[in-house]
Amino acid sequence: MTAPLDEGLPRPQIDTRLAAELAGDLFGISGHVQELGSQQDRNFLIQAAEGRRHLLKISNPASTRAEVEAQNAVMAAVRHAGQEEALPGLRAPRVLPSPAGREIERVTLGGREHLVRLLDFLDGEPLIGFPHAGPGTLAGLGALAGRLSLALDGLEHPGLERRLQWDLRRAPEVIDSLARFVRDEDRRERVLRAARNAAHRLEGLTAELPQQAVHGDLTDDNVVAVRRESGEPELAGIIDFGDAMRSWRIAELVMVCTTALHREPERPLAVLPAVTGFHRHRALLEAEAEALWPLLVLRGAVLVVSGEQQLAVDPGNDYAAEAIEREWDVFTSAESLDAAVAGSALRTALGLGRTPVQTVLAGSTPDAAPGASDGTSLLPEDVTGRVVDLSWESRQLRDGEWLEPGPSGADPEPTAVERRRIDEVLGAGEVAVLRYGEPRLTRAGVPGTGAPENTALFAELHSAAELQVRSPFAGTLHATARGMMLRADDDSAALLMQGLIPGDEQPAQSVRVQAGEPVGTSGALRLWHLTATALAGAEPDGSGLPEPRAFVRAAELDGWATIFADPAPFIGAHVLPASRRARRIDPAEDLARREAAFDALQGHYYQAPPQIERGWREFLIDTDGRHYLDMVNNVAAVGHGHPRLAAAAADQWRMLNTNSRFHYRVVAEFSERLLSLMPPGFDTVLLVNSGTEAVDLALRLGQAFTGRPDVMCVHESYHGWSIGADAVSTSLSDNPLADETRPDWVHPVSAPNAYRGRYRGPGAGPQYAAEAEAELARLAAAGRPVGTYIAEPRNGNAGAIPTPPGYLERIYAAVRAQGGIVIADEVQVGCGRLGEVFWGFQEHGVVPDIVTVAKALGNGHPLGAVITRKEIAQALTRQGAFFSSAAGSPVSCRIGLEVLDIIEEEGLQANAATVGERLRAGVQALAGRHRLIGAVHGRGLYQGIELVRDRETLEPAVEETRALCARMLELGVIVQPTGDRQNVLKVKPPMCLSPASADYFIGALDRVLTELGG
C-alpha cells in the first residue's frame, strides 16, 4: 500500500446492490448479500441458494496486484500447514477462481481500479464475539500465531514488501505523523511520551529481531471460532490477510497480545499464556522477549492514532468507531505496566535466564544487593526488629480480623489491624518490620474477580522512639515529592524513604553522604528500593523515575522486583534476618510432592489448584492471600477456622484425650445432647469417626437386629467407602463399576427423582413407592426378604434432589410391615443445613429406626454417630462389643458439643433458611435469562443447580458444567459438579454464608453463564 500516511484510506464506495452485481458478473454467483465490517476494504457475505457461503472482497484501490497475490500466497501457506498439523484454527479461506479462471478479478469504479476476489467463508464467528477468552483460549491463540509464523517462514513475495502503517518497524514514524488526530491533548501527550520511551527501549534490540512474512493482524477480530458444547470457543480459522507483509517475526505475537489487553485491560500480564503458547512453537529469542513489551506499547499507540485518523477521514465507519475504545484499552493497558517489569515477567514465564537483578532477588546472595556491598545498615546495630507477619501463615492475625475494612489497596498507610500489630511490637520495645514481597491478608479482601493487589513493594519500619537513620551506602540525598531519595554513587540502587526527618544540618538541596553517615531520624520509615534498572531511565534530579507502587498481584512480583527490589539488605540482618523475609510458595511444587506420595486414587479438585492453606468462615485462602468463596464445604458447617472450635480442641487436648472405655463426663454429655435433638423413641448413641463408619455400623445393626442380610437402597447414592458402605453406594460417578460389582444382598430401586427420573411431576412419589413395594414383595417371595432399607432423606449425591412427597412414609411402612428397619443417612443433610428442619427426615414427617450422622458434626474433625434404639444396638452385643479407638474420645466429644452449641447460638440453622432462600430465589431468577439452568433443587444451604441443554429433553449440560466450574474458580468461587451425569452444581457452603457472599455467587454465576452463551 503506497498511500501517504496522512491521507487515510476510506473504504471503496460499494453498496450491497453493486456487490451483488459484481458477484454475478465476475464470478457467476448470486445469493443474499450482506456487508461485513472492514477497516479499509469492502467485504460482503454472499449466501448462495445452495447454502454455500462466500466472501466477496473488494480491496481498497490503494492495494496493488502484487499485494493481493501475496495475500493469496499467505493463505495458501496456512492451508498447507493446516493439512500437515491438526492445530485448532490453522485454516485459511480458499480463493475461488472466476469462470475465467482468475483468482483476482478487476473492476473500475469511480475511475479507479479495484481488485476483487471470491473466498470461501470459514465457519464460525470472530473470536471477538465470545465474551470471555480465558487463559486456555489465549494459549491457543499464541500457539496458532507461533505455528502460523513457522508456516510463513521463508515465504518470499514482492507483494509483502509494503509500506504499511501497521508495520511495527515503522511505528514511531506513524505515531509521530498521526498523533495530531488525537483530539484530546492529554491523551495525545501520553501517546507520544509512551511511544518515545518504547522506541528508546528498542534501540539496540531491533537489529537482532528476525524478519519474515507475517499475517500482521492476528487479533480476535481475525480469528474465527466455533462454540464448543461447553460454550467455550474452539479456534477454527484465520481470516483477513489484508495486512500480510514482511515485518519482524515477533510482530505476529504482539498482535495476539492485544486481544488479552483489550479484554482485561486492568491486568496486562494476562498476555502470558499467549506468549508461552507462541514460544512452544516458535521459541522467542532473548531480544524478542525484551522487545515484546515496548512493541506492544507501540502497537497500542499505532492503533489509537490510526483509529482516530480513520474516524476523521471516514466518520461513517461504524466498525472503526466501535473499535476505538478497545484500541485505547490496548494502549492504556500496555502503557500501565513498566516495560522492565513486563520483560522480567515474560522472561520468568518463558524460562529464559534471569536478569542480574532477579538473581539477587532469588536469594542466591541474600545480602549482596546492589549498593549494599559494605553491609552498612540503615538502623543502629543495637536495634532489634520483630516482623509483623501479615501473610497467610501469620499467627498474629486471627479470626478474620484482617477483613476489617481499611484503606484501598493503593494506599500504603497501615490499616487499623496492621496498626494494632505494629503497636504491640512497639510495646515490647522492638522495631516493627512490615515486609516487602509479602502478599498481605490485610489487603486481600473478600473474593473478587481477580487475584488481589496485596503484595507489598515496600518495607516499613516502626519504632516507639525516633531512631537515627544512616546511609547504607555512599551517595546523594535529596528531597523529592515522594520522599527523601538516597541514590548510590554508582547508580546501582536508590532508596526512597518516606517518614525520614532530615537532620538540621541537611540542606534542602542534594547533599553527598558517606556510607554509615547519619541522614536523619525516623519513627516510621517506609522504604522502596529502586534497582539499577529503575534508575537507568532517570535523570540525575530524579525525574523519570518510576512511580513507587504500594501493592501488586503476587504473581507479578517477579516482574516488579526488577524495579522495586527488597530493601531488606539495607535494613540489615539484625533487624530483619534473611530467614524472616517474605517467601512465596509455588503451589506446583507442593502438588508434585503430593502426587508423588499420594495416588491419583485420592484425587484433588482442579488441574492446577490454588494452594489453600487457610480458611475463615465461608472463605478459603491461598498462599497469595486470595480469598475464594467456598460453596462446596458442607463439612465446615460452622465455617472455617472457627475460634471456639480451635479453643475447645486445644483446651481438651491439654486436659485429656483417651478412648471411650474410660469413664469421663463429656461422652455422656455429647450423647445426651444428640438424643435431645431427636424425636422421641431414640435412646442410644454409638460414636464413630466418619460417615462411612456410621453407615457401616448402621448396616451391621440392621442385619443383626432383623437377622436378614438383604438391604434395599436407591440408585445414584453414595454412603461411604468401606466394603459395606460401598456395597450400598450406587453412584456411578463415584464408582463406575457399581452395577457390576454389587453383592447379591444389595437391592437398589429407582432414585425417587421427580425431575428427571422414571416418574416425574406431582404424582411421582407414590409411583416410586409402588415400584419399591413391588420389589420388596418380589424379594420376600424369592426368599430374600429385605431387613434394612437405607437412603438419604434427600439425595445429596444426585444434587440435593428432593424426595417426592408420598414416597418415604410408604416405603418406611412397607419395610417395617415386612419386619425390616429403616436407616436415614443424614451425613450430608443433617445438622440444620436444610434451614427449616434440623434433620432431613423431618421434611417428610417420618421417623427412622437408625440415623447416621457425620461431616458437619465435627466440622471437619473425624466424628460420626449412629443414633438408634437400645433394642437395635443390643442386637449387635450378641456378636461382641463395639469399640473404635478414637471414637467418642474426649476431644471428639468436646468438638461435637461445641459444633452443636455454635449452630444454636449463632443461629446458623436460621441463617441457612434465610440466606438459602435468597440464594435459591437469586438462582431461580437467573433461570429466566439463562436457558442452561434446568432446575434449582434443594432447600436452605443445601442446593443443586442442574444444568441442561434442553428443558424438555433434559439433556445434561456436562461440558458446560465443567467449563463453568473452571471459570468460577477464576472469579474466586469454588463450586463443583455432582451427580451421575456431573451436570449439577453442588451448592452446600458453610452455614454461616453471608447474604453478600450469596449475592457474589449469584453475580458470578450470571456472568459465567452469559460468557458461555447459556
Ligand X SMILES: Cc1ncc(COP(=O)(O)O)c(C=O)c1O
Cell numbers that stand for 831 in this block: 445438622
**To the nearest whole angstrom, how small is the minimum distance from the Cβ of residue 634 to ligand X?**
9
Nearest approach, Cβ of 895 to ligand X (angstroms)? Answer: 15
- Whichever of 719 and 742 has its CB closer to ligand X, that residue is 719
Give the shortest CB-693-to-ligand X separation in angstroms. Answer: 7
Q: Which is nearer to ligand X, 557 or 865 (CB)?
A: 865
Q: How far is the CB of 734 from ligand X (least distance, A)?
A: 9
Q: Is the CA virtual torsion 621, 627, 631, 634 positive or negative?
A: positive
Pick the closer one to ligand X by CB: 60 or 692.
692
Cα–Cα distance measured from residue 350 to residue 272, given in angstroms and rounded to the nearest whole number: 9
Residue with Cβ nearer ligand X (67 or 693): 693
Residue 386 or 715: the one with the smaller Cβ distance to ligand X is 715
In three-state secondary structure terms, 845 is coil
User: What span, in angstroms and rounded, lies between the C-alpha atoms of 479 and 773?
Assistant: 89
Closer residue to ligand X, CB minimum distance, 716 or 959? 716
Tell me how far, at minimum, the Cβ of 730 lies from ligand X, in Å: 12
Q: How far is the CB of 856 from ligand X (least distance, A)?
A: 10
User: Which residue, 95 or 636, has its beta carbon nearer to ligand X?
Assistant: 636
- Nearer to ligand X by Cβ, of 719 and 981: the residue is 719
CA distance 229 to 957: 8
Residues 776 and 785: their CA atoms lie apart, in Å, by 7
User: Do 160 and 213 form a contact (C-beta atoms < 8 A)?
Assistant: yes
H or E stretch covering 142:
helix 135-152
SS3 395: coil
Shortest reach from residue 984's CB to ligand X, in Å: 14
Select 265 or 702, whichever has its Cβ closest to ligand X: 702
**Among residues 263 and 833, whose Cβ is nearest to ligand X?**
833
Closest distance of CB 611 from ligand X, Å: 23
Residue number with the smallest Cβ distance to ligand X:
691
Beta strands 95-96 and 53-58, pairing class: unpaired
Instruction: Give the residue with the Cβ less far from ligand X, 792 or 843.
Output: 792
Please report, as a single letter, which amino acid is at residue 890: P
800 vs 854, which CB is nearer to ligand X? 854
Q: State in angstroms the smallest separation of the CB of 850 from ligand X.
A: 13
* Nearest C-alpha neighbor of 516 from the set 477, 483, 469, 484: 469
Quote the least distance from Cβ 726 to ligand X, whole Å. Answer: 10
Contact between 838 and 679 under an 8 Å Cβ cutoff? The reply is: no
For Cα atoms 579, 581, 584, give the angle at the middle one, nearest 5 degrees: 105
134 or 720, CB closer to ligand X?
720
* Min dist. Cβ of residue 985 to ligand X (A): 16
Cβ-based nearer residue to ligand X, 811 or 857: 857
Q: DSSP per residue over 186-238, as a string?
A: HHHHHHHHHHHHHHHHHTTTGGGS-EEEE-S--STTSEEEEE-TTS-EEEEEE
Q: Which pairing describes strands 112-120 and 95-96: parallel, antiparallel, or unpaired?
A: antiparallel
Three-state DSSP class for residue 139: helix
> 3-state DSSP call for residue 35?
strand
Smallest gap from residue 716 Cβ to ligand X (A): 12
> Minimum distance between the CB of residue 602 and ligand X, rounded to whole angstroms?
12
- Shortest reach from residue 625's CB to ligand X, in Å: 30
Distance CA 717, CA 753 (A): 12
Measured from the CB of residue 256, what is the shortest distance to ligand X in angstroms? 44
Cβ nearer to ligand X, comparing 191 with 827: 827
* Residue 489, C-beta contacts closer than 8 angstroms, at least 6 positions apart: 473, 474, 475, 476
- Helix, strand or coil for residue 578? helix
State phi, psi for 564 to the nearest 5 degrees: -115, 105
Residue 320 or 829: which CB sits closer to ligand X? Answer: 829
Q: Does the CA dihedral 721-724-728-732 come out positive or negative?
A: positive
CB-CB contact of 469 with 525 (8 Å): yes
**What's 736's DSSP letter?**
T
Q: Supply the minimum distance, in Å, between the C-beta of residue 678 and ligand X.
A: 18
Half-sphere exposure in the Cβ direction for 371 (13 Å, CA):
35
| b/e sequence 510-530, b meaning 16+ C-beta within 10 Å | beebebeeebbbbebbbbbbb
Please report, as ranges, the residues that interact with ligand X according to CB under 6 A. Answer: 690-692, 695, 718-720, 792, 796, 825, 827-828, 854-855
Q: For residues 948 and 964, what is the distance between their CA atoms, to the nearest angstrom?
A: 13
The burial of 541, by beta-carbon neighbours within 10 Å (0-12 exposed, 13-18 middle, 19 or more buried), is given as exposed
Beta carbon nearer to ligand X, 256 or 827 = 827
Strands 711-714 and 746-749, by their bridges, are parallel
Report, in Å, the least distance between residue 862 CB and ligand X: 8
Helix (H, G, I), strand (E, B) or coil at 249: coil
Residue 31 backbone zone (phi > 0: left; psi -120 to 50: alpha; other: beta): left
Nearer to ligand X, 787 or 799 (CB): 799
Place of cell 492476528: 218
- HSE at residue 108, side-chain half, CA atoms within 13 A, is 2
**d(C-alpha 753, C-alpha 29), whole Å:** 56
List strand residue ranges (DSSP E) for 95-208, in order.
Answer: 95-96, 105-109, 112-120, 125-126
- Least Å distance, CB 796 to ligand X, is 5
